[in-house]
Chain A
Amino acid sequence: MNMELSDTLQSLVDDLSENYSDQLIDVYQSSGDTFIRVQPDAIVEICRFLKDEHHFIYLSDILGADRFTSEERFEVIYNIVSLRDRERVFLKVWIEEKDPTVDSITDVWQSASWHERQVYDMFGVRFNNHPDLRRIYMPEDFDYYPLRKEFPLLGIPGSIELPSSTPDTE
């Protein structure tokens, strides 16, 4: 693998492979960003490790992605920032299509709450131990997950209740 990691990132990767050699799956770079893929069941542990030992105190964002037709279909990407070392790292987990669940990291960074709700709303990935896992954009009555690849661009007719366009007659 051909990588140009900065010193701080190199020490982070070394530290991770020393302590979590079984859970670490892949480290790669794409367009200058560093991605670290780990086992889904170790995500909370590794997040806590990075926060406590490597000063990644700021969680910028959590994104979902649909790797449609791949074996492990869903992907959750954690965008974390070390304010001290001025580094940005992306943690990744791949999740099975059937009953997609992963542990919530709200215990590590509280700001994960809304981001995880967004991933749940858009992809249907459920987060264990999340304090308030509700949909955030779509109403609870909505039965589909819009950013999944099989959801049609034009939406599903009749899937959402719309207010009556004629005024109430009283």
Chain B
Amino acid sequence: MDTKHIKNDVDPKFLKKHQESLYDALEDKHTTVEILDDDDPLNTKMVLNMGPQHPATHGVLRLILQLNGELIEKAKLDIGYLHRGIEKIAENKTYQEFMPYTDRTDYLSPYSNNVALCTAVEKIANVEVPERAHYIRMIGCELARISSHLLWLGTMVQDTGAVSFFLWTFREREKIYDIFDYIGGHRFTISHARIGGVANDLTDDALAMIKDFINDFPQELKDFHGLLDRNRIFFDRNRGVGVLPTERALEIGATGPTLRGSGYAYDIRDFEPYARYDEVDFEIPTRLEGDNLARYYVRMEEMHESIRIIRQCLDKLPKGPVRTDNAKQAYPSKDEVYYSMEGMIHDFMMTDTGICPPEGSESFHCIEAPKGELGYFIQSDGTGHPWRLGIKSPSYANLQALEDMLDGEMVADTVIMIGGVDPVMGDSDK
């Protein structure tokens, strides 16, 4: 097959212009086209279309790979199959109304997304958050991190061939879902954070469950390590695969565990501490190799650190309110709403108008989500709706790094590299 004129051969029928421009881009990804392409007697060149409906691409990710035998010569990613226009929706909602939508961006760690939005709004509108709420948020964020990393672990190990592992990590995730159920009343899309604090305090049951979990989980993590660390198949399939050197990772804008696996300790919890991360003690796991195995170690150690952070938060958990008492900035508690006139008026005003940041102000706030730097940029026109709400999503940055990483790798490693980068299409497609 003559790969210089791919689009003549494939002749797409559906969304013709889109498909053709994609094949065009594949043809001139690098400016120098090898002359060698004309002469291919063994017919080893082909263009492989992976996805968007492919069980191993972790969502609706589409890859177009130009292969020479088993080698990937050029790769292009086509994303946007899960684009729902979240940023456009945000412009037509109050800040609090928009929060449930953030649950559905990075749907593997909803708690982090809620906290990211709330902290961004609190920053632009100058809302003070009570001390206890900060600690509850940190506990929630770290639980979300463990939950997200467990899903990554299960699916990534499944990609390398170990199917039963998926069930064991999901057993642990199930415990975290149960904890979230007791914390906020939802198992998955929890929406527990509120602007100015959190929705409700942790109950004794929830606290007991969290304590149980952090006591049991390190042993499970040790078992996972025992199964994988010296596993020949796992090791050989991950070592030296998808190497991203440090300079390259910074240049291409990788973030989160992908960047830390490549040797740069860039973690927002340390870089620009939010909540009370400056008061707890934790390490930033970093590896220098930059391959898939390094990313595995980084994430496994992050789960250890998360347990450490939760333990410190539980020790330090101060007493006090969980939401700011200023009715102009946050929803009043349900007790006030049901039993006092003012409470009801304030509740109505918050729902109808919402919190109004000063006119013309703009701010950016980011947190360290499980996938990397998750930021919300808000421009306000003084009304209760944002004028522009931009999301800096970590998966988007990492997918760009993946496109760069895929060139020159073997086609059999593609799926493992996708697993190692751990993209969530809801996050990258907005």
Q: List chain A positions with a Cβ less than 8 A from chain B.
A: 30-33, 35, 57-61, 63-66, 77, 79, 83, 86, 88, 90, 109-111, 113-114, 118, 122, 132, 134-141, 146-147, 151, 153, 161, 163
Contacts and interface: CB of A to CB of B under 8 A. Distances in A.
Contacts of B399: 114
Contacts of B271: 86
Contacts of B123: 31-32
A146 B85 contact: yes
Which secondary structure characterizes the binding site on chain A? loop
8 contacts: A30-B363, A63-B377, A64-B390, A86-B271, A132-B25, A136-B80, A141-B15, A153-B92
A57 B375 CA distance: 18
A111 B253 contact: yes
Which secondary structure characterizes the binding site on chain B? mixed
Interface in B1-36: 14-18, 20-22, 25, 29
Contacts of A35: 362
Interface residues of B, number: 51
Contacts of B253: 58-60, 109-111
B250 A88 contact: no
Given A58-B253, A79-B392, A114-B399, 18 more contacts: A30-B361, A60-B373, A61-B397, A63-B377, A65-B379, A65-B390, A79-B375, A83-B264, A86-B271, A109-B253, A113-B400, A114-B396, A134-B22, A139-B80, A140-B17, A140-B20, A146-B85, A147-B88
A107 B251 CA distance: 11
B264 to A, nearest CB: 7
A66 to B, nearest CB: 7
A136 B80 CA distance: 7
A134 B26 CA distance: 12
A112 to B, nearest CB: 8
A6 to B, nearest CB: 13
A109 B251 contact: yes
B15 A139 contact: yes
Contacts of B126: 31
Contacts of A33: 362-364
A146 B92 CA distance: 14
Interface in B232-249: none
B304 interface: no
B268 to A, nearest CB: 10
